[in-house]
Amino acid sequence: MSSALHLEVLKEQLSLEDVSDALSVPVHVKGLELSGRVPKDSICHLAYIVPRLLHLSYIYWGLDFMPESLEWPFKCPALKSVHLWPKLVSTSLEGRSWIKQLPRFIQFTGLTHFSLKSRSIPYKFNEKHIRPLTSLLESSPNLESIILDLSSATKPPRTYSPTLIIEPLGDRLVLSQLRRCHFLGDADPDWFEFATEPTHPLRTFLARHTSIRDLAISCSTEVSGTGMELNNLPQLPPSIRHLAIPLFMCESVVESPLALHIESLAISNLSLHGDDPLGPLAEAVSKVTLPNLRKLEIWAGYGDFELGSGVFEAFVSAAKGLEELDFKAEVEDYDEFLTALDGAENLRQITVNPGQLLKPGFPITWNFALNELAEMCPRLEMILTHGGQMNRVIRDDSGEICWDYM
């Protein structure tokens, strides 16, 4: 639903009587997505619409405001999946109002999937706003996926702590169906204690949940002088196949038995500093094999560092099946980066911006670089930019390369 008209038509359809089951809206509608330009004064229709959608199991909210009342979703007995992604600016009245009402918005029970995403944590965001998520976890024993992606609009960033949600659960609660657990954005579970204290609440939570396959925790703060010993890693569930963690954990992870099973790895620091922050990781990776790794991401996109070729060379050598590469920082040297990809025979997709490879004044064009990448990587199918531009590789029978710019 992306306009007032859509809601009005749906309301009209629900008001019809003597409609056969084959044409019945209440019988067939199981999901409701709200995005686009739905005006605030049209949201009142939802109080009529939602309780009549008897099989509604999925709600997505992507509007640039939150409703003054959110009672209608709690009248859906079949509701299992809720995704709140309000597009707000924290300095606005809407932003301040939204955060005050957040505890009321997340009083859901019996969910299997929940996500909350916002790029506008206001300055006064604190533990009282996310503590109700503890109750959501307690009342959703069949939860399969929880995603929090909360970022601050302030500098320095206003962080939130997943530990405040996890700690009140104690040691007994186990969500046996939990497969995906993401704490993204400006998350800070107190990384120093996480790395050094085996009894840290988040670590014990992860140790109990051996069904997790997809774990992601971003790192928006600088963590220095911190490391995780290899003998602490068994507390990461051995079921994990997709992992996004801070750099200080990565070295031990690639040296652990878990490395044999990981299918995607993301270095989740949002910034990195120093001459060669990934150097120790590259050295560790050069000594191991990552037989199942298909995707590598490096999230850091700002900071006073450049990506050396060593990290690319190490991962290409260790992960012969690598198919996707995604990074946001500038490379130190384009020619060395290109050489490091020699041997990436299965690489199919690269996500990178032109400015990350070609510094001002560099004597080649972006189109020339695209051709060189396609020649170096024989199975390359797509080069994406972080802005969404798609450059699809087309190879003819003779091996000649041309491009479809989408």
**Residue 79: strand, helix, or coil:** coil
For residues 182 and 215, give the distance between their C-alpha atoms in angstroms, rounded to a whole number.
6
Whether 265 is covered by a domain: the verdict is: no
Domain range for 39 is 1-58+68-78
Whether 48 is covered by a domain: the verdict is: yes
Amino acid 363: pLDDT: 86
Whether 3 is covered by a domain: the verdict is: yes
What is the number of structural domains in the chain? Answer: 1
Whether 23 is covered by a domain: the verdict is: yes
Whether 100 is covered by a domain: the verdict is: no
Whether 47 is covered by a domain: the verdict is: yes
Q: Which residue has the tokens 């963690």?
A: 245
**Neighbouring C-beta atoms of residue 152, cutoff 10 Å:** 21
Q: Which residues contact residue 267 at a Cβ distance below 8 angstroms, ignoring those fewer than 6 apart?
A: 244, 245, 246, 247, 250, 278, 281, 297, 298, 299, 300
**Neighbouring C-beta atoms of residue 239, cutoff 10 Å:** 15
The overall pTM is greater than 0.75: yes
Mind listing the pLDDT tens digit of every residue in the chain (406 residues)? 566 778 777 777 777 776 666 667 767 788 888 887 877 777 778 877 888 888 889 999 888 777 776 677 777 788 899 998 887 654 455 555 666 677 777 888 899 999 999 887 766 666 777 888 999 999 999 999 999 998 877 777 778 889 999 999 988 899 999 999 999 998 988 888 888 888 999 999 999 999 999 999 998 876 654 556 666 655 788 899 999 999 989 999 999 999 999 999 999 998 888 889 999 999 999 999 999 999 999 999 876 789 999 999 999 999 999 999 999 999 999 999 999 999 999 999 999 999 999 988 888 999 999 999 999 999 999 999 999 999 999 998 887 898 998 7
For the stretch 281-321, pLDDT in tens is 999 999 999 999 999 999 998 767 899 999 999 999 999 99
Whether 9 is covered by a domain: the verdict is: yes
CA 263 → CA 168, 239, 274, 294, 357, distances in Å? 32, 11, 28, 5, 26
- Pairing assessment for the beta strands 31-34 and 242-245 based on DSSP bridges: unpaired
For residues 98 and 100, give the distance between their C-alpha atoms in angstroms, rounded to a whole number.
5
Closest CA to 236 of 257, 251, 222: 257
**Neighbouring C-beta atoms of residue 170, cutoff 10 Å:** 11
| 3-class SS string, 35-60 | CCCCCHHHHHHHHHHHHHCCCCCEEE
Whether 8 is covered by a domain: the verdict is: yes
